[in-house]
Amino acid sequence: MKVRTFLLFVLLLGGLLLLASVLDSNREVLEQPILLWGDMSLPVGIALVACLGLGIVITFVIGLSREAGLLIERGRLRRESRKYEEVEEEYSRGLVAVVEGREEEALGHFRAVLERDSRHFNTLIKIGDVLRAQGRIPEAIEFHRKAHHLKEDNTRPLYALVDDLTRRRATSTAPGSCSAASSASRRTRLPRGASCVRCT
């Protein structure tokens, strides 16, 4: 038996003996009736025991409800932690796929992350970067804008948007686009001397 348990046992026993002594010396008082309502009455001792029991029950219920609330909160935090770990694991798979050049697989992982957490900042940045690398500039801009709206004080989305717009401008002014526009102008029989606006 531990010392603490022994001391608690001794204190409890001493308290019971003291209570028994007090009750015995005040037996006449405790047997006096308390009028409740009408002809109903209770002895003082029973009324005291009832009040004590009611206080114990109320304390127990309050403590139990508090513990239940703590258990629910712990469960919620545990679920959120598990969800966060799963999301980060999926995001890491996407990063590995990007490094290994498997862009479509990376997009699948990143989209899976966004399905679980549409506000995952790093995923919004990375999925936009991958889309830009694939030449899907409008989609890249959309994701980078979402990231910017999510964290307006962060410069990463702004730099990414600059790269997106630079890539779009470079694509729109590529020689192939001008030749295509020139051939289109010939098909529409523009006046002689008219040139492609993008080439000027």
Assigned token pair, 24 = 């015995």
Write the pLDDT tens digit of every residue in 36-82: 777 777 787 787 788 888 888 998 899 889 889 899 999 999 988 89
Cα–Cα dist 130/21, whole Å: 84
- Alpha helices per DSSP H over the chain: 3-25, 27-30, 44-99, 103-116, 121-133, 137-150, 156-172, 175-187
Residue 51 within any structural domain of the chain: no
Domain count of the fold of the chain: 1
Write down the pLDDT at residue 150.
93
CATH (domain of 117): 1.25.40.10
**Rounded to 10 degrees, what is the CA torsion of 154, 159, 164, 166?**
150
Give the SS3 label for residue 43: strand
Residue 160 within any structural domain of the chain: yes
Write the pLDDT tens digit of every residue in 161-191: 999 999 999 877 655 544 433 443 343 333 3
User: Where residue 4 falls among pLDDT bands split at 50, 70, 90?
Assistant: confident
Share of the chain above pLDDT 70, in %: 84
Write the pLDDT tens digit of every residue in 115-155: 999 999 999 999 999 999 999 999 999 999 999 999 999 99
Phi and psi (nearest 5°) for 34? -110, 125
Write down the pLDDT at residue 17.
80
Write down the pLDDT at residue 1.
54
Residue 54 within any structural domain of the chain: no
Question: Residue 97: which domain range?
Answer: 78-170
> What is the DSSP secondary-structure string of 115-139?
HH-TT-HHHHHHHHHHHHHTT-HHH
Give the SS3 label for residue 84: helix
Whether the full predicted model's pTM is greater than 0.75, yes or no, is: no
